A and B are shown apart, each in its own frame.
Chain A
Amino acid sequence: DAGVIQSPRHEVTEMGQEVTLRCKPISGHNSLFWYRQTMMRGLELLIYFNNNVPIDDSGMPEDRFSAKMPNASFSTLKIQPSEPRDSAVYFCASRVRSTGELFFGEGSRLTVL
Chain B
Amino acid sequence: AQTVTQSQPEMSVQEAETVTLSCTYDTSESDYYLFWYKQPPSRQMILVIRQEAYKQQNATENRFSVNFQKAAKSFSLKISDSQLGDAAMYFCAYRSPSGGGADGLTFGKGTHLIIQP
Chain A residues close to B by CB (< 8 Å): 31, 33, 35, 42-43, 45, 48, 50, 55-56, 58, 89, 91, 93, 100-104, 106-107, 109
Known: A55-B100, A55-B101, A107-B43. 4 other contacts (CB 8 A): A42-B107, A100-B50, A102-B104, A109-B43
B78 contacts chain A at the CB level, 8 A cutoff = no
Most buried by A among B43, B46, B91, B108: B43
- Chain B residues at the A interface, C-beta cutoff of 8 Å: 33, 35, 37, 42-47, 50, 52, 91, 95, 97, 100-101, 103-110
Q: How far is the CB of A75 from chain B (nearest CB, A)?
A: 14
**Which residue on B lies nearest to A103, using beta carbons?**
B47
Check B45–A101 contact: CB distance below 8 A: no
Tell me if B104 and A33 are in contact (CB < 8 A): yes
A55–B47 CA distance with the chains assembled, in angstroms: 24
Residues of B within 8 A of A107 (CB): 43-45
When the two chains form their complex, are residues B35 and A45 in contact, meaning their CB atoms are under 8 A apart? no
- Quick check: B100 and A56 within 8 Å, CB to CB? yes
Contact partner, B103, options A48, A106, A109, Cβ 8 Å: A48
- Measured between beta carbons, the chain B residues less than 8 angstroms from A45 are 104-106
Q: In the complex where A42-B107, A106-B42 touch, is A101 in contact with B91 (Cβ < 8 A)?
A: no
Which residue of chain A lies nearest to B32 when distances are taken between CB atoms in the complex? Answer: A100
* Bound-state Cα–Cα, A102 to B48, Å: 11
Given contacts A43-B91, A100-B33, A101-B35, whether A48 and B104 have CB atoms under 8 Å apart is yes
Asked whether A104 and B44 contact (CB < 8 A) given A42-B109, A45-B105, A48-B103, the answer is: yes
Whether A100 lies near B95 (C-beta < 8 A) is yes
Q: How far is the CA of A89 from the CA of B52 in the complex (A)?
A: 29
Contact at A56–B47, with CB atoms within 8 Å?
A: no
